[in-house]
Amino acid sequence: MGNLILAVDDSRTIRASVKYTLEKAGYEVVLGCDGKEGLDKLNELKHQGKKPDMIISDINMPNMDGISFIKELKNKMEYKFIPVLVLTTESQHQKKMEGKKAGAAGWLVKPFKSQQLVDVVKKFVR
């Protein structure tokens, strides 16, 4: 298997699309449905001796939103340097700045084209 990506989104359709697209491109993908489950998945991976090479996160999610999720990640030394791509319907400059301030490395607005997602992931994961 290829590099490991954790994708967190509350939309089942988006999760399925991201998983299909990235697995087809050779990546291993683990899914979470919100920021809280994303943190749980990171703990599961840690117990398996794994760590994602990249994290993709939505912003608007129940339980724990994407900005809070990214802030949690960046406060943990073990995940601090993992690149985070925000994949969201939000395109406002203020939201992008909020994501960047939280620690996001990239921003991709939904809907996205499969190749567009793969190209962005390739920029961060080699």
pLDDT, tens digit (0-9, with 9 covering 90-100), for 13-50: 999 999 999 999 999 999 999 999 999 999 999 999 99
In contact, 12 and 61? CB cutoff 8 Å: no
Domains of the chain as residue ranges with CATH: 4-90+102-112 (3.40.50.2300)
Helices (H), 1-126: 12-24, 35-47, 66-74, 93-102, 114-124
Residue position matching structure tokens 């988006």:
14
Whole-prediction pTM? 0.96
Taking only the tens place, the pLDDT of each residue in 81-119 is 999 999 999 999 999 999 999 999 999 999 999 999 999
Distance CA 80, CA 75 (A): 6
